[in-house]
Chain A
């Protein structure tokens, strides 16, 4: 009986269609010492050659290099869905003899994206907000150490409340299976001890099937992911070609779950939790930033120095906006004036139309 059928069950489909048309934005940051296979892994994950023309500096050059933040964009399309992937790289991290505070530029970068979003959100023209916030940070841990190093701990402590962290053990083919287990446990213990919050997988809904639940549990249990990346296809005569690394004693297959956790990472990052990572970034991390930011602006005693003078004219009832540099403010004011004028014109037109139709109806009435 169609009487009961209202029709909003089709909403997910509508959302889906809209998103597909709009496409997805995703910003992924990779961090960790150089030489842990970060670039190779990214290329393996997204089947791209983002780092093809990269020049690796030698030690002499690295002595003088400071940490830089690099962004690379790539559009990936699969099954009709477009993903605009932005990769944020942090070359120079952990290279110097003295790495004190080398994580500060990274923290600053993450906060700047939040700042930008906060401004856009508080502005008037919100139709085309560009979301450049960092949705996920893959942090690479060395397989050669004995767990997290002091630098790892310092970095993670600095960013864990600002970005979703997924810890990853790079170049995991350096480890025998037992060593991998020991290292993973050590890292998990250290993360707990240092009270570092990494990205938590959401629990499965109770109505998911057993297979999915099992997979989910397995994935959660294998964090930090021990990964191996490769962009080379190895053809061992007889067997099918696989992506892997060929050694004299055997070939590591990147996509073999017995060899490394690459498949788990890919499934988790790309196939099942891409949307959740964005949501957590928005609902939890960004909101946290926003609350902190607004609180510090609203409280008179706790206002930060830069906004003190600019806020003195605002009344207490207004929600203070984060201040922009002067030139931008001018531009914004002009833009908003334009909009207001247009809206006024439209209103006037509508009023005129209404008056006309009223006049007409009066005439017809009197006839």
Chain B
């Protein structure tokens, strides 16, 4: 089984109807400590999180991931030497790091996709990405199907895909639509407007509105998807995010400057300093809170319960069943055309 039992998110504690027996006589039972127990377990085992970044080169993907996790988890290709040219096809590069905070260990894997959208002809450049995502599902499926399974199946599935939109101020590009149309069915896509410091407040609002509308018109469901809202509380919270905040217009930086006596991450220009974590300047803090502080677990759950299950069901239906079960055989990959 996976490292953390994918239970539905703990619902708010429902007050019990008063029982005839006055429970105060019996004293405090202590059921509510289950949350604490779960927390302790999580801290001990730690958890995996796999985030993929997709977008044309130069949109600040690596810088943003580094800013999100406050460490150099992504190698910036900002100083390409002459020998390092733009790759001719899309490459998939996964780099893992272990980050610790407050006693909790996170094994973070950042999956980069250099070469996406950079060629003259970008037809089907999303295919290597889709293939990679499906390969991770396949890996997990094989482990799950084994007779003697590992206690903690290593989870390499992509939990979240940040798609970087170029801040043209006009609308989405045909390539953006194509990518999101194909991939929103297999992975959680969070569209993000990159390098948003080129847009004024009005331009930002207009652009976001147009992007949202285009995504809707084209039937593209980004995370959090409407159909997976579990209850009213989720729905209202997510509706607000879907209809007002997303796509987040972000700015990333790994340089610090002094502003009003504080050291802040930002970008210094002759006309002012853009503070990455200042909500008046950009929505980086919203993205960070969304991905890490509030919806991290949900991202994993949706990946496991919905995307993975969809893949698994499809595999079960195709070829009349799952690959033959064995303890340690190398199955051939062309069982799935």
Give A contacts to B, CB under 8 Å.
33-36, 56-60, 62-63, 95-100, 142-147, 149-151, 154, 171, 173-174, 176-177, 189, 193, 245-253, 256, 258-259
Contacts and interface: CB of A to CB of B under 8 A. Distances in A.
A146 B195 contact: no
A248 B280 contact: yes
* B-side interface size class: 35 or more
Given A60-B217, A100-B120, A247-B197, A259 B173 contact: no
B275 A59 contact: no
Given A56-B170, A247-B197, A97 B269 contact: no
Contact of B269 (A60, A177, A189, A248): A177
A142 B169 CA distance: 13
Interface string B254-272: 0000000000000111111
Nearest to A173: B198
Given A144-B56, A173-B269, A247-B271, 12 more contacts: A59-B171, A63-B174, A97-B174, A98-B121, A99-B122, A146-B57, A147-B80, A150-B118, A176-B268, A250-B273, A253-B271, A256-B270
Contact of A145 (B57, B169, B267, B281): B57
B272 A59 contact: no
B168 interface: yes
A144 B166 contact: yes
27 contacts: A33-B168, A35-B167, A35-B168, A56-B170, A59-B177, A60-B217, A95-B174, A97-B174, A100-B121, A142-B58, A144-B58, A144-B167, A145-B56, A150-B118, A154-B120, A171-B198, A174-B167, A174-B195, A174-B197, A176-B267, A177-B269, A189-B82, A246-B200, A247-B200, A248-B201, A250-B273, A251-B271
Contacts, number: 125
B187 interface: no
Contact of B80 (A57, A142, A146): A146
Contacts of A252: 269, 271
Contact of A249 (B82, B167, B198, B274): B274
Q: 6 tightest A-B contacts by CB? A: A35-B168, A250-B272, A249-B272, A250-B271, A145-B58, A59-B172
In terms of DSSP, what is the predominant structure of the interface of chain A?
Answer: loop
B166 A35 contact: yes
Nearest to A33: B168
B283 to A, nearest CB: 12
Contacts of B195: 144, 174
